Amino acid sequence: MFRMNFPSLHARIYRYGDQLYSLYEIGQSLSTRQMQQLIAALHQKGLAIESLEFFEYGPSNTLRHLFVRMKGQSEAMPYFQLDPDDWRILVEELSKMPVHRN
């Protein structure tokens, strides 16, 4: 079975228009409605994800993280604890989302 390595949240490897973005930048740019659409798309793919939180520690823009809350779980977990197949689906769906920069 194919196992995907967890790509960095920071690597700018996803193209939108003429710019490259990281998974973190894509996720951080989503509106509330877009986040709901992403969660709905993940549900359609069989993932029981309740919420995604793109988090930045302190004033630095280098300490970024993604927390994933699964349905029925009281606490969110770091993205790298997801099953690799679930991570692959999340990356595929997130990389389809348009990027809106302020």
Give domain status of residue 8, yes or no: no
* Residue ranges making up the domain that contains 68: 14-95
- How many independent structural domains does the chain possess? 1
Give domain status of residue 27, yes or no: yes
Contact 26, 94 (CB under 8 A): yes
Banded model confidence at residue 3, pLDDT cuts 50, 70, 90: very low
Give domain status of residue 72, yes or no: yes
Give domain status of residue 52, yes or no: yes
The tens digit of pLDDT for each residue in 14-71 reads 676 778 888 888 898 899 999 999 999 999 999 999 999 988 777 766 677 889 999 9
- Listing DSSP states for 45-97 in one string gives TT--EEEEEEEE-TT-SS-EEEEEEETT-SS-EEGGGS-HHHHHHHHHHHHTS
Banded model confidence at residue 2, pLDDT cuts 50, 70, 90: very low
Give domain status of residue 57, yes or no: yes
